[in-house]
Amino acid sequence: MNNSLKQIEEQALNLSPEERAKLAEFMLESLNAPLADIESAWSQEIELRVAAYDRGDLSSYAAEDVFAEAKLTTK
């Protein structure tokens, strides 16, 4: 562990329990930032696919047919 991280750790331990909880929440949320980016990208993709389906640019298949085909290819 480098010295600056140690210093931050020591400073954090001097915070009140409420401040430490806020800091912990902030730090945990910062780790999830890439997840938010991924969710945003999937939301955009879903919107694009739904719009393409609504325009008739995408075909759809019955779930039963998809599962039946998948079952055949896994045997």
Contact (CB, 8 A) for 15 and 23: yes
Is residue 51 one of the residues assigned to a domain? yes
Residue 75's pLDDT band (cuts 50, 70, 90): low
Alpha helices in the chain (DSSP H): 3-13, 17-31, 33-55, 63-73
User: How far apart (Å, rounded) are the C-alpha atoms in residues 37 and 41?
Assistant: 6
Q: Residue 43 domain-assigned? A: yes
Domain tally, the chain: 1
Predicted TM-score (pTM) of the model is 0.46
Is residue 20, in this structure, part of any structural domain at all? no
The distance of Cα 41 from the centroid of its chain, to the nearest Å, equals: 9
**Residue 60 resides in a domain:** yes
- Expressed as residue numbers, the domain containing 56 is 33-73
Instruction: Encode pLDDT of 8-38 as tens digits.
Output: 999 999 999 999 999 999 998 888 777 878 8
